[in-house]
Chain A
Amino acid sequence: MPVKKGIKKVLVVGSGPIIIGQAAEFDYAGTQACRSLREEGLEVVLINSNPATIMTDANMADRIYIEPITPEFVTRIIEKEKPDGFLPSLGGQVGLNMALQLSELGVLEKYNVQLLGTPLDAIKRAEDRELFKSTMQRINEPVPESVIVCSVEEAVVFAKQIGFPLVVRPAYTLGGTGGGMVYNMDELVSTCTKGLKASIIHQALIERSLVGWKEIEFEVMRDSANNCITICSMENIDSMGVHTGDSVVVAPAQTLSDREYQMLRTAALKIIRALGVEGGCNVQYALDPNSYAYYVIEVNPRVSRSSALASKATGYPIAKVASKIAIGLNLDEIKNAVTGKTYACFEPSIDYTVIKFPRWPFDKFAMADRSLGTQMKATGEVMSIDRTLEGALLKAIRSLEIGVPGLIYPGLAELSQEEIEQKLTQPSDERLFVLAEALRRGMLFDHVFNLTKIDRFFIQKIYNVVQLENHLHRGCRTSLSAELLRKAKEMGMADAYLAQAVGIAANEVRALRKGYGIEPVYKMVDTCAAEFEAVTPYYYSCYDTEDEAKPTNNRKVVVVGGGPIRIGQGIEFDYCSVHSVWALKEMGYEAIIINNNPETVSTDFDTADRLYFEPLLPEDVINILEKEKPAGVIVQFGGQTPINLAEHIDKAGFNILGSSLDSIDRAEDRERFDDLVSRLDIPRPPGGTAFSLVHAEEIAGNIGFPVLVRPSYVLGGRAMEIVDNIDDLRNYMATAVKLTPEHPVLVDKYFLGEEIEVDAIADGETVLIPGIMKHVERAGVHSGDSIAVYPAYHLDRTVQEQIVDYTTKLALELDVRGMINIQYVLYNGQIYVIEVNPRASRTVPYMSKVTGIPMINLATKIIMGQKLKDLGYQGGLYPEGKLVGVKAPVFSFAKLLQVDISLGPEMKSTGEVLGVDASYPVALYKALLGSGVVFQRQGNILVTVADKDKEEMLPIIKGFSSLGYNIFATTGTACYLEKHGVTVTRVNKVREGSPDIADLLRQGDIHLVINTLTRGKAPERDGFVIRRAAVELAVPCLTSLDTARAILEVLGDIKEGPDFPLVPLQEYGTGY
């Protein structure tokens, strides 16, 4: 069947900013979709508010709109572009919601736009709880029994029908409190009573509990001719109860006999047919570990995180095929890209095991609740492949970059038996390590199973590793015999892990291993278990015998990717890695990429000439380098991960291309950096390096408070704080950092000035500055959490010239070849340099798009020896365009309980959006809208600010008041405002009596909260309670007066029902 009639132009919707639960996988899916549609000769129009994506690159679609993904904006794009078809199912939940909303509004009908892919009623059947239930009942597929109750009596009636255990989930509670598992009537009555009280709408869901059941997933595809295939089965190592996004997952399913497997496969086919999905879909089951009983838990009628994983795990390009199905092709008409010969209508067979391990942000959020349950908390994930399950698991663990080379986790050996048992019962990010510790202590499998409900099969696998650990003796190098070492390597144990167990250096293990001739081989991921010859250059390592990845004689360059998405190292670095690979290919090099993130475009098998899906640790990377012998390695595009590898790569005798190791060190080493800036006569905030508390106090005493303190070598502002006094400094030194001679603490003067950021490209002679960005929030808010504006507004010409001058000097002095990012603070008319990173930064995709300069392409060419002049660029500041680009951060606070949302020097955002317009307020409006801020034209604003901020607050609140907003404030703030002539409604602080602030928020009476915090980690409970209540009730909460001022500006400038021009990316350069 050919492409559907009348379809020539298709609108694809992306998923918007990265948040927990909706991450880079949709860039991968969207990119595949755009390519796949264009392959069929269709014109593609794209909307996505996220500039850090490959899919929003000019060459990905014919027209790209980086605009807020709201029904209004999408409608306007439909009006303007008049597409024939609308493809929502590659844009995650955002895409599906858009399809539902646009159809309800009648937009699709009005403009005669055909919904492509899964039909609307199928989406509803899967998404609507009741419809889903009735559809499943019709085809005799069991769903867990549940009921929504408003009284304890109703719950009791239900329990009498169904039995126990049950789960009580109160609707809309703060902090997710009030629910839980119940095993008998008494517990039900007590939990339900509490839960209903906690629920804002006095409602609770009572559901059959399936805790302890196996969680199994199937990825299924169906075309419009009703052909169905399953791509992959997956088994969660954590049993039911932990969100699949937070579970360690293995593919294929390991503990199912063919009979059980086929039972669930058959059901999956039945379900996808009953729903009528056209494209990809994910079916989740709970399977009784003791019988054939199962329940259908959830169906996602779209491409999901699991499909990205299934795609990378099998090599089957699900998103690409789903897009082709959406435009009318059938599975048996779509060529299999892996073999190049057969068709997409087959089921992958794999001959390895795959592990997906979630990457949680708990290293950044020390206060966060680490327990895992039904709310996903991971920001990203890693995947690993090996011929053994132990190997895949251990590779995954070290890919997380949490400083743990294996199953030995710091602090666990000191735990008491009771603590171990307690930690086994409660799923958390540490549980697998605790399990290993329990086995090390001799805990019986049955007991481990009873506490964790993790299948004995997986317990055994972990035990195999622990048992091998037992053969290694501390300080006894001879315990590492050739035989044992080979066995350990087959199980995926890193040299560093063995070194840790034996108590010697990792390079000693490496030498020993090489001496024994134990080297990894590389095998291909080919979807067919070697049955057919495949053309996918997609490899993984293992300690088996045959090596399939024969190196070529081409001139090749290795690009080291960024690993898992985490706060501080997001999708931007995948964008950079992919662009570098493309530039290398353009130059005729063989581009090799090493990465381990299954959600990304960089790990698509057709991005680079060769893909190695491997941990980004010295051992694993150097093994590949030794095999490939590349001309060099590029480390400046994958964020801090490859930078951390640079020294190892250099020591192993490989060439770091671009800025040298020495340049990196001069920028990162405090002493050397101080020398550098003083030589160049560039001012920087005074400060010093402290090796002890006394030393830190001395430095602070000299420069005066407030000071910014942080450990040396940081990523994304980890453990960085602004401290106002000596007590806070002592407290910080005692709790936040571990001082060692190798890891001193940096103490710097903190200037509350304007923050300015620059990305530049340098070739040793010329320094090109694509643009200067200014942050809306002043210094003290991490640059990743600030709203950034390009071109920098209200910036003095002399200041601008000074920035260009400093940037040029720094780049030349550091002999930067490629990218450099510099942050400045403007304080009392003086520019200070605060940070220099000789690598690509998170603003590169944003700046590349807004300025139209292909920054990574140029940087890569320079790295390979070309000059800016020859590439047609001059030095200095690139002329500003007519458009303003505003980048706004996006947070995932609603998913992370106990995390304080106030902005500070530690980065907290997970994603970003871009707003573009000729005017600054409109660009800012678009950015804020895209980031999820809902602008109420009228309503109530709650203000409660620290004393130090009151003066600054006044004009802002006056402004809001004059726009007609009602101001609510707590006593202190209210007094101040009233004194200055602002009409205020006073509200009670928490515990001052009802109704207090929390009550008002709960009642939905407040539409915006402005709250600044009294600095320091002192309890400051009220503020915390207010901020958490706001975030959980989805009321916008501003913790920086700068952001509040910006919003006031937007609200004041933007008139009712404005008709903003829509600017496609392709027209940014022309000033439209």
Chain B
Amino acid sequence: MKAFLALEDGTLFTGRSFGATGEQWGEVVFNTGMTGYQEILTDPSYCGQIVVMTYPLIGNYGINRDDFEAKKSFIKGFVVKEACGHPSNWRAGYRIGDFLAREGVPGISGVDTRALTRHLRSYGTMRGVIATGAVDTAQLVEKAKTCPYLSGQKLVADVAVKESYTIEGQGPRVILIDLGSKQNIIRKLKERDCAVIVVPPDITPGQIDQLAPDGVLISNGPGDPVDVPVTISTTRFIIGKYPLFGICLGNQVMALALGAKTYKMKFGHRGANHPVKDLRTGRVYITSHNHGFSVDEESLKGLDIEISHINLNDNTVEGIRHKHLPLFAVQYHPEASPGPQESDYIFDKFMDMMRGEGQ
């Protein structure tokens, strides 16, 4: 069956359908990771987005039981050059196409993904519609033009937990404010024997006090950070009160709570090869990224915040630290999954901070 991807600027890509059939709209973004599609498909931060993989052979090692970052996939569509119908890996349980079908995600293969990526790189991330079967392509373009922008969609509510739950542990008590957390953040805390209390984004400062945590971690999540005002204001209340650590959207939320600004990037960072420099040690780490928004460096001036990490490719802010209070955050993904594991030390820093060390 044929499938189409129409962009809001009228560009149309034709390919073959795989996965679910039907029509979906979303923001079209590309990811340059060569492995890790299963983690990407189940990363809640991609909610509302149609993801293009730049590596042409996707699905080679199938879908397995272990590498899920969430119980389901929140992405709107998946675009590849070639979807592997015959995966080969000892852990492979399913084909990628079957997985997408089960999750209701339409996929399109046979697309010149490099052409599409170059287009997005040149003109920026844009809205698009993915559809399968016999469709009116002019109408698809029209839909792409009129569908909602990513900003304003309040996607966090779709992916975050509704009810708190606790994972037992003998170590520090960590509140994880779930804006769409990847499972690996929880795994990283569990590895360190933390007691993790996963709470919804609308938790109040009072509720946090009642839980008496040793530290609070604000997770990654989808969409524009300004669309989670409740969490931003909650964060404002707990700054300085508890050691605070933010990842990705959590980083942006903290920056906004501290009075800084965020902006939408032209096409964002999505991949597993971004060089990030830790400005304190001078060491460069290759890191996993998935963000379309960034903290505005200018807006940090005059605040009690220093930039702890920058991206060597475009010098954007990749990490912030409060000059006096126990608070730091990173824009990239120290939990990896997918991507390089070398930023694991960031979790150790959080542990140190909760023990009152390091700052």
Contacts and interface: CB of A to CB of B under 8 A. Distances in A.
B126 to A, nearest CB: 16
B312 A343 contact: yes
B115 A545 contact: yes
Contacts of B337: 258
Interface string A347-359: 1111111000000
11 contacts: A229-B275, A258-B67, A259-B66, A262-B336, A262-B341, A332-B277, A529-B55, A529-B117, A530-B114, A531-B30, A544-B112
Contact of B88 (A332, A455, A528, A529): A455
Contacts of A545: 112, 115
Between A266, A529, A533, A545, the greatest number of chain B beta carbons within 10 A of the residue's beta carbon is seen for A529
B54 A256 contact: no
B181 interface: no
Given A258-B36, A544-B115, A349 B88 contact: no
A798 interface: no
A342 B56 contact: no
B323 to A, nearest CB: 25
A388 B56 CA distance: 7
Smallest CB-CB A-B distances: 7 pairs: A546-B115, A258-B36, A457-B88, A529-B54, A347-B273, A258-B338, A258-B35
A332 B89 contact: no
A346 B35 contact: no
Choose among A227, A252, A289 the residue with the greatest number of B CB atoms under 10 Å from its CB. Answer: A227
Interface stretch (B220-228, B251-259, B282-290): B282-290
B334 to A, nearest CB: 13
A530 B112 CA distance: 12
Contacts of A262: 336, 338-341
Interface string A267-300: 0010000000000000000000111000000000
Given A261-B35, A347-B273, A530-B121, A255 B341 contact: no
B60 interface: yes
A457 B92 CA distance: 12
A460 B62 CA distance: 14
Contacts of B283: 225-227
Nearest to B36: A258
B66 A546 contact: no
B39 interface: yes
B61 A346 contact: no
A257 B64 CA distance: 9
A396 interface: no
Contacts of B84: 457
B164 to A, nearest CB: 29
A548 B64 CA distance: 37
Q: How large is the interface on B (under 10, 10 to 19, 20 to 34, 35 or more residues)?
A: 35 or more
Interface string A505-523: 0000000000000000001
Contact of A350 (B34, B39, B61, B341): B34
Question: Among the interface residues B57, B82, B341, which one has the most CB atoms of the partner chain A within 10 A?
Answer: B57
A387 B81 contact: yes
A227 B281 CA distance: 11
A748 B39 CA distance: 70
Contacts of A261: 35
A331 interface: yes
Given A225-B283, A343-B312, A353-B56, A289 B90 contact: yes
A532 interface: yes
Nearest to A254: B60
Given A252-B34, A290-B90, A342-B313, A332 B275 contact: yes
A387 B84 CA distance: 14
Q: Counting chain B CB atoms within 10 Å of each CB, which of A226, A229, A257, A530 scores highest?
A: A257
Nearest to A449: B88
Given A256-B35, A332-B312, A265 B56 contact: no
B247 to A, nearest CB: 18
A257 B84 CA distance: 13
Contacts of B61: 255-257
B114 A531 contact: no
Contacts of A226: 283
A346 B273 contact: yes
Interface in A737-759: none
B113 A351 contact: yes
Identify which of B33, B35, B337 gathers the most chain A CB atoms within 10 Å of its CB.
B35
B45 interface: no
Interface in B3-48: 30, 32-36, 38-39
Interface in A328-351: 331-332, 342-343, 345-351
A254 B82 CA distance: 13
Given A345-B275, A531-B121, A544-B114, 9 more contacts: A227-B283, A227-B284, A252-B34, A255-B61, A258-B33, A262-B341, A332-B277, A529-B55, A546-B115
A555 interface: no
B169 interface: no
B271 A349 contact: yes
B128 to A, nearest CB: 17
A456 interface: yes
B342 interface: yes
B54 A349 contact: yes
Contacts of B275: 229, 332, 343, 345-347
A389 B90 contact: no
A278 to B, nearest CB: 15
A255 B277 contact: no
Interface in A367-408: 387-389
Contact of B38 (A256, A257, A343): A257
Contacts of B89: 255-257
Interface string B289-305: 00000000000000000
B118 interface: yes
A531 B312 contact: no
Interface in B291-349: 312-313, 336-342
Contacts of A387: 56, 81-82, 114
Contacts of A548: 118
A533 B313 CA distance: 12
Given A262-B338, A262-B341, A289-B90, A546 B114 contact: yes
B172 to A, nearest CB: 26
A265 B273 CA distance: 12
A255 B56 contact: no
Contact of A257 (B57, B91, B113, B274): B91
A387 B57 CA distance: 8
A113 to B, nearest CB: 29
B213 interface: no
Contacts of A457: 60, 84, 86-88
A551 to B, nearest CB: 18
Contact of B55 (A230, A290, A351): A351
Contact of A349 (B57, B91, B121, B273): B273
Interface string B91-131: 10000000000000000000011110110010000000000
* Max chain A Cβ within 10 angstroms of own Cβ: one of B274, B313, B337: B313
B57 A254 contact: yes
Contacts of A269: 342
Given A460-B88, A531-B32, A388 B82 contact: yes
Contacts of A544: 81, 112, 114-115
A389 B82 CA distance: 10
A351 B117 CA distance: 10
Contacts of A532: 121, 313
Nearest to A528: B32
B312 A346 contact: yes
A343 B275 CA distance: 9
A984 B275 CA distance: 72
Given A255-B88, A262-B340, A530-B121, A346 B56 contact: no
A261 B34 CA distance: 10
A232 to B, nearest CB: 10
Contacts of A343: 275, 312-313
A350 B118 CA distance: 14
A406 B67 CA distance: 38
